[in-house]
């Protein structure tokens, strides 16, 4: 026995949001779709068609669960159940299928079906009667009430049905689409391992933004299947303050292929005895804004940080002394920042020239 799935079971903890807004571009993919979940819809207008994917594997059914599967081949339109199989005595054959919308095509793969009794047990759990991972399963059910739950990625729909003596077909509308995300700096693709994406419901630009991520830490190039609707994406590049966001709309049966444009650069902080010299280990680092606010702190000898375009102050603490250097970050210009020993800083709240002496 299991509890019936709840739509909010995919929610994740709250996270503080940035305020910068990114430029969003829809583009055609290069090559086959990199997929996190099976998807068989269409790309957004102007994009190439996705490559075919293998059907998802079937989860093991518990002994005695009366579920059978229709043939693997599914027509792109219409009803896949042209003929329903003869059910066992006392049961009816219920042929299930799902489509992206009333005028959209069938969902041909990636579906997970579960059938629950519509009355809970004394424990409060709804008994699981049958399950399948085929696109168009046929369930043999005894007369009575049931709740059919179908999920596709993070999209799901539940429908109550009443089964009588006659077999029949049931088709569910499952409005789902996909987002596939990338990020770049100055038209140069950011390596996937250096950028992540959080997906929120609503629109940041229109002031209808959720404060809780709907999907956290999506990887660049992965396909995330979502309920159709409006979302905004928060992209984090590296360790620092390079965070931007953009609105995006997900249409039923479509994949939105989007690139977020960061204006940032990767810097390496080094404490040295002379310009170009070998870095000194055991320094403690802080990066401050022009107003003295802490942007990032690190205990690494030579921290590598990604910072948004702007002006900063690097502060190194070593052997009881503090050394500083003002520097500027330009988008796409990765570079080291050398702080020279012997150029001791006054307190950060006091305006100083670069490299004031002891």
Instruction: Write the CATH number for 276.
Output: 2.60.40.1120
Write down the pLDDT at residue 328. Answer: 97
**Domain finish residue from 206, 231, 262:** 262
Write down the pLDDT at residue 342. Answer: 73
Is residue 103 assigned to a domain?
Answer: yes
Q: Assess contact for 285 and 298: CB atoms under 8 A.
A: yes
Q: Are residues 80 and 169 in the same domain?
A: yes
Q: Are residues 254 and 298 in the same domain?
A: no
Is residue 356 assigned to a domain?
Answer: no
Tell me the C-alpha distance between 27 and 193, whole Å.
21
Q: Are residues 201 and 248 in the same domain?
A: yes
Tell me the C-alpha distance between 295 and 287, whole Å.
5
Write down the pLDDT at residue 264. Answer: 97
Q: Are residues 104 and 89 in the same domain?
A: yes
Q: Are residues 328 and 275 in the same domain?
A: yes
Check: pTM over 0.85? Answer yes or no: no
Q: Are residues 238 and 254 in the same domain?
A: yes
Q: What is the CATH number of the domain that holds 166?
A: 2.60.40.10
Is residue 36 assigned to a domain?
Answer: yes
* Number of domains comprising the chain: 3
Q: Are residues 180 and 37 in the same domain?
A: yes
Q: Are residues 22 and 118 in the same domain?
A: no
Is residue 55 assigned to a domain?
Answer: no
Which residues of the chain are modeled with pLDDT < 70? 1-78, 343-358
Is residue 2 assigned to a domain?
Answer: no
Write down the pLDDT at residue 346. Answer: 52
Which residue range is the domain that position 121 belongs to?
67-173
Write down the pLDDT at residue 41. Answer: 57
- Concatenate the DSSP letters of all residues of 39-83 into one string: --SEESTTSPPPPP-PPPPPPPPPTT--EEE--S---SSS-S-SS
Is residue 351 assigned to a domain?
Answer: no
Q: Are residues 71 and 169 in the same domain?
A: yes
Is residue 224 assigned to a domain?
Answer: yes
Write down the pLDDT at residue 205. Answer: 82
Write down the pLDDT at residue 349. Answer: 44
Q: Are residues 91 and 129 in the same domain?
A: yes
Q: Are residues 152 and 196 in the same domain?
A: no
Tokens 């810097």 — which residue?
Answer: 267
């Amino acid at each position: 026995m299991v509890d019936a799935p709840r739509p909010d079971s995919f929610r994740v903890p709250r996270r503080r949001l940035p305020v910068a807004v990114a430029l969003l571009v829809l583009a055609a993919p290069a090559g086959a779709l990199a997929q996190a979940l099976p998807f068989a819809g269409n790309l957004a207008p102007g994009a190439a068609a996705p490559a075919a994917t293998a059907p998802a594997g079937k989860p093991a059914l518990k002994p005695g669960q009366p579920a059978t599967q229709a043939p693997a081949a599914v027509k792109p339109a219409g009803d896949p159940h042209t003929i329903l199989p003869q059910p066992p005595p006392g049961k009816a054959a219920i042929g299930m299928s799902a489509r992206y919308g009333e005028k959209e095509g069938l969902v041909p793969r990636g579906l997970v079906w579960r059938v629950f009794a519509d009355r809970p047990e004394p424990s409060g759990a709804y008994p699981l009667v049958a399950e399948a991972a085929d696109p168009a399963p046929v369930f043999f059910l005894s007369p009575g009430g049931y709740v059919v739950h179908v999920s596709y990625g993070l999209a799901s729909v539940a429908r109550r049905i009443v089964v009588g003596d006659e077999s029949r077909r049931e088709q569910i509308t499952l409005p789902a689409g996909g987002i596939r995300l990338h990020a770049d700096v100055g038209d140069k693709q950011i390596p996937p391992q250096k950028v992540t994406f959080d997906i929120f419901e609503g629109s940041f630009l229109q002031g209808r933004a959720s404060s809780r991520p709907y999907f956290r830490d999506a990887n660049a190039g992965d396909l995330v299947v979502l309920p159709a609707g409006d979302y905004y994406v928060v992209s984090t590049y590296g360790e620092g303050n390079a965070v931007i966001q953009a609105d995006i709309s997900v249409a039923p049966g479509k994949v939105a292929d989007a690139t977020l444009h960061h204006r940032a650069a990767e810097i390496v902080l080094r404490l040295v005895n002379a310009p170009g010299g070998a870095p000194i280990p055991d320094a403690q680092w802080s990066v401050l804004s022009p107003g003295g606010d802490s942007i990032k702190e690190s205990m690494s000898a030579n921290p590598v940080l990604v910072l948004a375009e702007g002006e900063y102050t690097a502060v190194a603490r070593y052997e009881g002394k503090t050394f500083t250097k003002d520097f500027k970050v330009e988008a796409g210009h990765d570079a080291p920042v050398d702080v020279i020993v012997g150029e001791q800083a006054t307190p950060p709240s006091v305006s100083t020239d670069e490299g004031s002496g002891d």
